[in-house]
Amino acid sequence: MKQRTRALIALALLVPSAGTLAAPDAPAGSPRIGLVLSGGGARGAAHIGVIKILEELRIPVHAIAGTSMGSLVGGAYAAGLGAGDLERAVTGVDWNELFNDDAPRALWPARRKEGSYRPTWNFSIGVREGKARLPPGAIAGQNVQLFLSELTKGVEHLERFDELPIPFRAVATDLETGTMKVFERGSLPLAMRASMSVPGVFAPLHSEGRIYVDGGLVRNTPVDVAREMGVDHLIVVRLLGDPMKPEQLNTVVGVAGQMINILISQNESASLAEIDPVRDVLVQPNLGDIGSGQFNRAADAIAIGERAARAATPLLARFSRSEADYAAWRRATGRPARPIERVEEVRVVGLERVNPKVFAPLERDLEKKPLDRERLVDDIRVVYAKGDFERVSYRFEREDEGDVLVVDAVEKSWGPGYFSLGLGFSSDNEGDDRFGLRGTYRQSWLNRLGAEWTTSVTVGNEPKLTTELFQPLRLDRAVFVAPYLDYSKTPLSVFRDDRRVARYDIARTRAGADLGTTLQNGIEARVGAYFLSNDTQVDTGPKALPEGSVNESGARVRVSYDTLDSPYLPRTGNRVTLEVNRPLPSMGAETDFTRAYARWTGAWAFGEHTVSTDVRGGSSFGDHMPFYEQFALGGFTRLSGNPNERFRGNQMALGNLVYHRQIATLPAPVGRGLYVGGSLEAGRLWDVDEMLDNPSKWRFGSSVFFGADSWIGPLFLAYGLSDGGDHTLYFMLGRP
């Protein structure tokens, strides 16, 4: 089977059940029909095609049991959606975004956005109670859960699944005992989510003290579950596909996938033996090479399901009903007449260390008000974007005083300490090679106001140590203080006559504190004071610049606003930053200058095409800054074709226009996509050191590149050409 990596994600969609059929009733003398939907990941879209034919043949369904994807389709059908609704939902959703747990970057807190420009791998090791812990799965399922809630809206108040328009059962596996769990009551979306929790791919679902994973491990085709619901006949839909090839079994993923296939095959054999060839009908769509993770081929799978069901029409036709009887059944299986209209109370459960007041916006926006589902989802996404939760879902409970919105807030089980790694490497054919391995540790929720302590260490040819305590003075982070300490050692090249003549090491030691505010529109502003010592030493080449240690202690102001959807290959949004630094003699500074820097980045998407611009400017307002503080141009998209930081000056202007086109989508959580593009750039420096043969004039550059936005950070392979005819190859992975 192809695409086995995403096939594991696919196995994430299965479900069964138990109990006695309550409704809807079949006309007197008419048989009750049960529908069994097996698991199979993306192949499960074929179930929708089968249901389309059942509707075409006017075959009523009186009970449904499903596993994994079968639970998704079956649960939504049981909740009142028709085949057309299901088809639009499955083919219209962006599955890659659905399997991406994170909220849109525009919703992230300013602090988290800023940290994304120092990329780490999209994986963290937790520290809890002094022990290292791993995340329970590659995908927590946050967006999947919200999708399931949307599919089943209108029946949230129904506690028992027998009360649904069509009685329903979802099948999961109890991870501790290895036994089958049949969900017949509770939260329908949570039951569906439990059924599709493929071990190692989706995080298990914790519910009522138990841990549940994918039901396909014990009952992929829950024939017995449907039979126990009191039906007379079963329509069983079992999904087939191409077997895995020998070469696919040479990888860890392939072996794991095949092991799951073997488990499923064994329990399916027992289920198939329970099918009565006289009373029941078995429909087996053969999905061929459609992998269990290829959700982009949902339309193809639906069509295959239709053909398989149509081929079985001679057997299915005996269950057909008259137009009048079928119309009556459809009316009985529509959405309940009394949907949730008003929220009397918002109740948050599951919190351990996070302050409950984090959820105050939900109470403000929803409590004692008519239900606004859009607002509900938006508020949940904002809370989830803070990065403290494994899952934030919702359900409704009907009590005497009215409908209660219950928010299940599941904090990250592997926190509150998080250790992550990042690898950065950049190189050009001019000999500027930089590499670094970064380790970052973040301790969250040090107190009830949400204090964080973050420490980052980078080893390589640009070593760096940074530690900062972020202490909000209010829970909403409207006001905060941030003391910090950092040390860095950075190489700096000196060019003369278009060639590198020397390389210096700039060692900086800084300690300071900021007072800041975060505004509701996403603007963060900081003002602070710092003690700074710069030590300059020649590494290679002649002594072209002064050496020694200089005190540059002073004050700074920084303002930022960021709505970009990605820090490196954005498709939408804007970023604006403004920073002013001023050494102060009153703090012992031995230099006297003002350094101001401003930058704006904007991006606009047109389908698969994106145009972005990056405009930067800097000035010392007539002061002469030390060479290492001057603004630099040169490098990829900063006058491409030139080596990194080839030109320096006390005043700077740079603008570029970048185009990129997405050529492939990466499966979550691997990344966002692959891109090709190019850039045009123009820049100029003023007040330059003439001794370095760096005349003040406008310069131009251009580039073409291949890029990837991946879980290990950005990747670029680029070719740059300058207006002087110089050309440079660039390779960048992450950020050193």
Of the listed ranges 240-249, 315-324, 460-469, 549-558, the least confidently predicted one is 240-249
Tell me: pLDDT of 171 over 50.
yes
CA distance 16 to 222: 5
Q: Are 595 and 555 in contact (CB under 8 A)?
A: no
606's tokens: 């047109």
Q: pLDDT grade, residue 95 (50/70/90)? A: confident
Residue located via tokens 């190019």: 678
61's tokens: 């369904």
220's tokens: 């992929």
389's tokens: 């939760």
Q: pLDDT grade, residue 65 (50/70/90)? A: very high
For residues 283, 289, 293, 298, the Cα torsion angle rounded to the nearest 10 degrees is -60
Which of helix, strand or coil describes residue 517?
A: strand
CA distance 462 to 558: 24
Write the pLDDT tens digit of every residue in 620-641.
Answer: 998 999 989 999 999 999 999 9
CA distance 566 to 674: 13
- Starting at the earlier edge strand, list the strands of the sheet with 389-399: 345-349, 402-411, 389-399
Write the pLDDT tens digit of every residue in 2-26.
Answer: 343 344 333 333 333 333 334 455 5
Query: What's the average model confidence in pLDDT over 548-577?
Result: 94
Query: What's the average model confidence in pLDDT over 179-204?
Result: 89
The identity of residue 397, as a single letter, is: E
Q: Is 101 exposed, middle or buried (0-12, 13-18, 19+ CB in 10 A)?
A: buried
Report phi then psi at 719, rounded to 5.
-125, 125
Q: What angle do CA 287, 289, 292 make, to 5 degrees?
A: 70
Q: What is the pLDDT of residue 14?
A: 33
Rounded to whole angstroms, what are the CA distances from 613 to 256, 618, 679?
A: 45, 17, 9
More confident: 210 or 511: 511
Q: What is the pLDDT of residue 337?
A: 57
For residues 568, 570, 575, 578, the Cα torsion angle rounded to the nearest 10 degrees is 20
Q: Is 400 exposed, middle or buried (0-12, 13-18, 19+ CB in 10 A)?
A: exposed
Q: What is the pLDDT of residue 479?
A: 96
Of the listed ranges 2-6, 74-78, 106-110, 703-707, the least confidently predicted one is 2-6
Kindly give, in sequence order, each residue whose CB lies less than 8 Å from that of residue 586, ignoring residues fewer than 6 positions away: none
Strands 389-399 and 699-710: unpaired
Q: Residue 96: name the closest of 488, 723, 667, 587 by CA.
A: 667
Q: What is the pLDDT of residue 54?
A: 97
Q: Residue 68: name the closest of 50, 51, 45 by CA.
A: 45
Q: What is the pLDDT of residue 257?
A: 61
Report phi then psi at 717, rounded to 5.
-125, 115
Q: What is the pLDDT of residue 18?
A: 31
Q: Are 105 and 566 in contact (CB under 8 A)?
A: yes
Write the pLDDT tens digit of every residue in 665-691.
Answer: 887 777 888 999 999 999 999 998 876
227's tokens: 């039979």
Which of helix, strand or coil describes residue 178?
A: coil
Q: What is the pLDDT of residue 5?
A: 38
Write the pLDDT tens digit of every residue in 228-285.
Answer: 999 999 999 999 887 766 655 555 455 556 666 777 777 888 899 999 999 999 999 9
Tell me: pLDDT of 478 over 50.
yes
Residue 72 CA from chain centroid, whole number: 21
Chain-wide mean pLDDT for the chain?
88
Tell me: pLDDT of 441 over 90.
yes
Q: Residue 242: name the closest of 45, 1, 46 by CA.
A: 1
Q: What is the pLDDT of residue 545?
A: 76
Q: Are 500 and 478 in contact (CB under 8 A)?
A: no
Query: What's the average model confidence in pLDDT over 479-488?
Result: 97
720's tokens: 């740059």
Percent of the chain with pLDDT over 90: 62
Q: What is the pLDDT of residue 258?
A: 62
Tell me: pLDDT of 579 over 60.
yes
Bridge partners of 394, per DSSP, are 407
462's tokens: 């640009």
Q: Are 576 and 524 in contact (CB under 8 A)?
A: no
Tell me: pLDDT of 335 over 90.
no
Q: What is the pLDDT of residue 34?
A: 97
Q: What is the pLDDT of residue 502?
A: 85
Tell me: pLDDT of 1 over 70.
no
Instruction: Evaluate the CA torsion angle 113, 115, 120, 124 in order and state its sign.
Output: negative
Which of helix, strand or coil describes residue 259?
A: helix
Strands 651-665 and 524-540: unpaired
pTM of the model: 0.84
- DSSP for 547-594 reads -EEEE--EEEEEEEEE--S-SSS-SSEEEEEEEEEEE-GGGT-S----
Q: What is the pLDDT of residue 19?
A: 32
CA distance 146 to 137: 18
Tell me: pLDDT of 504 over 50.
yes
Helix, strand, coil share (%) of the chain residues, nearest 5: 25, 40, 35
Tell me: pLDDT of 562 over 90.
yes
Residue 170 CA from chain centroid, whole number: 27
